């Protein structure tokens, strides 16, 4: 999931950059305004995806820490053997 979000973010960054470049070439005010609105909308989408990516990374880190704690606890366990019954 993390890699997919990173790829989507990179693609959005490229699209925003392209739109900004193209909007600089626009001469008519109405078209320029529409282009700016489109850019703002894409930037909102990118920011939302960025937040999602950060939340996903935090979740992954939490799970990783939990697994490390479980493994450490298992390594600290001591195994002992006691004879309960002796049959003769």
pTM of the model: 0.68
Length of the chain: 88
In a domain? residue 71: yes
Number of domains in the chain: 1
Query: Is pLDDT at 87 greater than 80 in this prediction?
Result: no
What sign has the CA pseudo-torsion 30, 35, 39, 45? positive
Tens digits of residue pLDDT in 21-54: 999 999 999 999 999 999 999 999 999 999 999 9
Domain range for 13: 2-76
Distance CA 50, CA 15 (A): 15
In a domain? residue 33: yes
In a domain? residue 67: yes
């Amino acid at each position: 999931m993390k890699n997919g979000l990173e790829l989507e973010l990179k693609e959005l960054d490229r699209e925003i950059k392209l739109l900004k470049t193209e909007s600089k070439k626009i001469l008519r005010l109405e078209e320029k305004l529409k282009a700016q609105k489109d850019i703002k909308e894409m930037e909102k989408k990118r920011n939302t995806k960025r937040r999602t990516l950060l939340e996903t990374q935090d979740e992954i880190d939490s799970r990783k820490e939990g697994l490390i704690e479980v493994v450490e606890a298992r390594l600290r366990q001591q195994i002992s053997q006691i004879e309960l019954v002796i049959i003769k």
